[in-house]
């Protein structure tokens, strides 16, 4: 859809945008401007010329892609740190006893949930999204919209309603769905969401993550990482922490401006993307690849029909197969023990890429 | 000492390196290489070509500047987040009842300490480093080596001994002292240290902070932010968190590579800096400026003799005076209500800068 805006090396079919998105071409030039002019020439003055508000401003840009009206998303910190903020914020004062965590989650969510359980005295229970078994003991459910291993897409509307039906809250991890399909956080009444920006949003390696705290939750949201950037009056240098009344309270320390402004530049390519059209292209690309791969023997496609922009394939000697694919210019990745993952970023992956990748896979595994 | 390595704009006397260090000239070019080659050409492969280990590798580079042998420092996250890790790690399992926090600290340390106190049930007590009044109730003391407002240098050796004498631990915040003077974390038996890298180390706006956990503390250090990067086997995708045995357990989420590799480049200028010589230059520069400013009426130098690389001056209408200084090309900063701060980074500030800055200040306040 926008391949001309990206730098993809000659001879490479890049199917790992679900792990690290490719750089939009203009990001390198923007970084020169940031380093030489904003940092080098303006020096400290840049903090009052746009840097300080960048987490909210860029948060609103991400918000548009996940169905959040302005003033409810900030970027900053890593996904893991934002999971911690959201979970600690969610369990505070509920009087309930359990945290339910998607058993197939990318591990960091579960690891952070373990720490939160230990700090707060709640129990943690792992469950599959298809059988959550929630109750009035459940304080919060932490779910992934798209499963990182299988690419399965979970039903955000139904699962959010299921949580709310027993008075539980829900935190959605959007790492593998932001930039994949239309998301309606506001419309579905989601309690919290977090996600990364370096996969389908192409923000750059380790670019800042985001957190969504809806307007209705902001006044009671207690950020356990009460750093000075979330203070009501950060430059007042007050002795006690008083949180900003709005989304700014989800900020912590000084934002990593170089990474953040690379993300800002990368988001330019999203300005006129129609997310419904993007979704159709993603479905078409993954269907095309799947159709070819399903003809192959010795391989099993494990991605269900309800899916994100990813096709996962189980095969023997998966690591060796992926090494060979990469040696032949088809870059996906491998998750132990036996999964090959292929991500299809519709902004820069073409039908020809999908077909050619399947051909190379066929040749290697024949 | 190294002015030729820095980009300082024509006509500017930059005395705010205690807030945001100036960029070494080669950082812009390095960022091009990182964005175009490492991200753009190598794509996901760069994670196994140096990115993954960057937090430890760069941590060791910072370690050399703060007296820490390799394997005890990692870079990543913000200072506030690292204060949280260190404080939570320090109070865990001590059975003691109070956290003592430098009452004149940069506020974020105190704000985070409030959160830690609330999460753990400990009391927090603010005290001046000159009268800490520690006891066997004290779990940990959180101190700044150099005070951000006054520039006062505290005695790390004496205060560390004072804490240890009652069995308390000490966390040193090195934000305003790293890159200012020789620091001996290992030799003094410091329990934890944290600091930022964007002031005298010139890492760039919001560049990753660092945390020091000495070898002797690593096996028992529990990182409350138990993200996947700190796992013993991060790519094993194990269901439960098991920390890495060493300093890697202080890592959390995916590191912000662009900011981190800008810091890496910036640290090149430190490779052959003699910290004792640097300290002498810093003392000479601040003495020269102080000598000129002490002759002026309507101003009061509040920086004591034991100091970092900063001279702070109390004056009426401090904000308006600083605005006028900046308009005339002398960039320092203002801290409410009535403090002007002038930082002297010996790597790029010269004697002529110090004298000229004092002359402009005299002209404005005469």
A15 touches chain B (CB under 8 A): no
CA–CA dist B264, A19 (Å, integer): 24
Residue ranges of A 34-63 with Cβ closer than 8 A to chain B: 35-36, 38-41, 43-47, 51
B106 counts as catalytic: yes
For position A114, what pLDDT does the model report? 96
Please report the residues numbered 190 through 249 in chain B whose beta carbons come closer than 8 angstroms to any beta carbon of chain A.
196, 198, 204-209, 224-229, 231, 235-241
A&B contacts, CB < 8 Å: 259
Query: Contact A239/B110, CB-based, under 8 Å?
Result: yes
Answer yes or no: B198 catalytic: yes
The whole-angstrom separation of Cα A288 and Cα A299 is 16
Residue B294 pLDDT exceeds 90: yes
Q: Dihedral sign for Cα A226, A231, A236, A241, please.
A: negative
Burial (0-12, 13-18, 19+ Cβ within 10 Å), B216: exposed
ipTM score above 0.90: yes
Going by C-alpha positions, the residue among B262, B62, B352 that lies closest to residue A204 is B262
Q: Would you call B187 an interface residue with chain A, using a CB distance cutoff of 8 Å? A: no
Give me the residues of B, 280-319, that contact A with CB < 8 A.
none
Across the interface, whether the CB atoms of A259 and B257 are under 8 A apart is answered yes
Residues A207, B258: Cα–Cα separation, whole Å: 8
Quick check: do B3-25+274-365 and B50-270 share a fold? no
Minimal Cβ distance to A35: which of B27, B110, B252: B27
The Cα B157–Cα B203 span in angstroms is 27
Of A198, A241, A258, the CB nearest to B262: A258
Which residues does chain B have within 8 Å of residue A127's beta carbon, measured at their own beta carbons? none
Taking only the tens place, the pLDDT of each residue in B295-311 is: 998 899 999 999 999 99
Q: Is A222 exposed, middle or buried (0-12, 13-18, 19+ CB in 10 A)?
A: middle
Mean predicted lDDT score pLDDT of chain B = 96
Q: Which of residues 324-353 of A touch B (CB under 8 A)?
A: 326, 331, 333, 335-336
Domains of chain A, by residue range, sit at 3-25+274-365, 50-270
- Cα–Cα nearest to B366, from B321, B319, B322: B321
Confidence check: pLDDT of B328 > 90: yes
Average pLDDT over residues B24-28: 97
| pLDDT reported for residue A239 | 87
Average pLDDT of span B231-255: 95
Per residue in B156-170, pLDDT (tens digit) is 999 999 999 999 999
The pLDDT score that the predictor gives to residue B19 is 96
Question: For residue B32, what pLDDT is reported?
Answer: 97
Looking at residue B7, its pLDDT comes to: 87
C-beta of residue B141 within 8 angstroms of C-beta of residue B134? yes
Q: What DSSP string describes B31-57? A: HHIIIIIIIIITGGGGGGTTTTTHHHH
For residue A15, give the chain B residue with the closest CA.
B44
Of A82-96, B103-117, B281-295, the least confident: B103-117
- Predicted confidence (pLDDT) at residue B194 exceeds the cutoff of 90: yes
- Those residues whose C-beta lies under 8 Å from the C-beta of residue A325, and which sit 6 or more positions away, are A331, A332, A340, A357, A360, A361, A364
Residues of chain A short of pLDDT 50, as ranges, are none
Whose CA is closest to A138, among A96, A101, A106, A179?
A96
- Whether B106 has a pLDDT exceeding 90, the answer reads no
pLDDT score of A91: 96
Could you give the CA distance from residue A310 to residue A316 in angstroms, rounded to a whole number? 19
DSSP A119-170: HHT-EEEEE-GGG----TTEEEEEEESB-TTT-BBP-HHHHHHHHHHTT-EE
The Cα of B126 is separated from the nearest Cα of chain A by a number of Å equal to: 10
CATH class held by domain A50-270: alpha beta
Cβ–Cβ below 8 Å for B19 and A336: no
CA of A53 vs chain B CAs: smallest distance (Å): 13
Q: Is A6 helix (H, G, I), strand (E, B) or coil?
A: strand
Q: Cβ separation of A198 and B45 shorter than 8 Å?
A: no
Give the pLDDT score at A174.
98
Instruction: Calculate mean pLDDT across residues B94-119.
Output: 94
pLDDT at residue number A42: 95
**Architecture of A3-25+274-365 per CATH?**
Alpha-Beta Complex (3.90)
Q: Is the pLDDT of residue B237 over 90?
A: no
Q: Does B27 touch chain A (CB under 8 A)?
A: yes
Q: What is the pLDDT of residue B104?
A: 85
């Amino acid at each position: 859809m926008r391949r001309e805006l990206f730098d993809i090396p000659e001879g490479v079919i890049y199917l790992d945008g679900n792990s690290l998105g490719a750089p939009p071409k203009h990001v390198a030039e923007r970084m020169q401007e940031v380093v030489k002019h904003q940092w080098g020439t303006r020096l400290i003055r840049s903090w009052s010329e746009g840097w300080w508000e960048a987490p909210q401003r860029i948060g609103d840009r991400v918000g548009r892609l996940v169905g959040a009206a302005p003033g409810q998303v900030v970027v900053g910190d890593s996904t893991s740190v934002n999971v911690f903020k959201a979970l600690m914020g969610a369990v505070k004062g509920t009087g309930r006893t359990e945290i339910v965590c998607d058993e197939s989650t990318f591990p960091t969510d579960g690891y952070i949930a373990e720490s939160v359980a230990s700090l707060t005295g709640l129990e943690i229970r792992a469950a599959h999204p298809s059988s959550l078994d929630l109750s009035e003991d459940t304080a919060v459910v932490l779910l992934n919209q798209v499963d990182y291993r299988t690419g399965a897409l979970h039903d955000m509307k139904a699962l959010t309603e299921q949580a709310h039906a027993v008075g539980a809250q829900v935190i959605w991890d959007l790492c593998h769905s932001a930039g994949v399909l239309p998301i309606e956080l506001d419309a579905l009444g989601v309690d919290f969401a977090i996600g990364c920006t370096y996969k389908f949003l192409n923000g750059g390696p380790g670019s800042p993550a985001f957190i969504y705290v809806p307007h209705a939750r902001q006044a009671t949201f207690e950020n356990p990482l009460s750093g000075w950037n979330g203070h009501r009056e950060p430059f007042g240098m007050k002795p006690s922490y008083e949180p900003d009344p709005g989304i700014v309270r989800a900020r912590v320390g000084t934002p990593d401006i170089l990474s953040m402004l690379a993300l800002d530049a990368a988001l330019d390519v999203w300005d006129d993307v129609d997310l419904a059209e993007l979704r159709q292209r993603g479905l078409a690309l993954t269907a095309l690849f799947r159709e070819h791969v399903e003809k192959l023997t010795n391989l099993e496609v494990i991605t269900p029909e309800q899916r994100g922009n990813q096709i996962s394939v189980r095969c023997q000697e998966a690591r060796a197969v992926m090494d060979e694919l990469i040696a032949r210019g088809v870059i996906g990745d491998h998750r132990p023990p036996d999964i090959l993952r292929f991500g299809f970023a519709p902004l820069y992956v073409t039908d020809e890429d999908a077909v050619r990748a399947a051909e190379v896979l066929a040749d290697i595994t024949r």
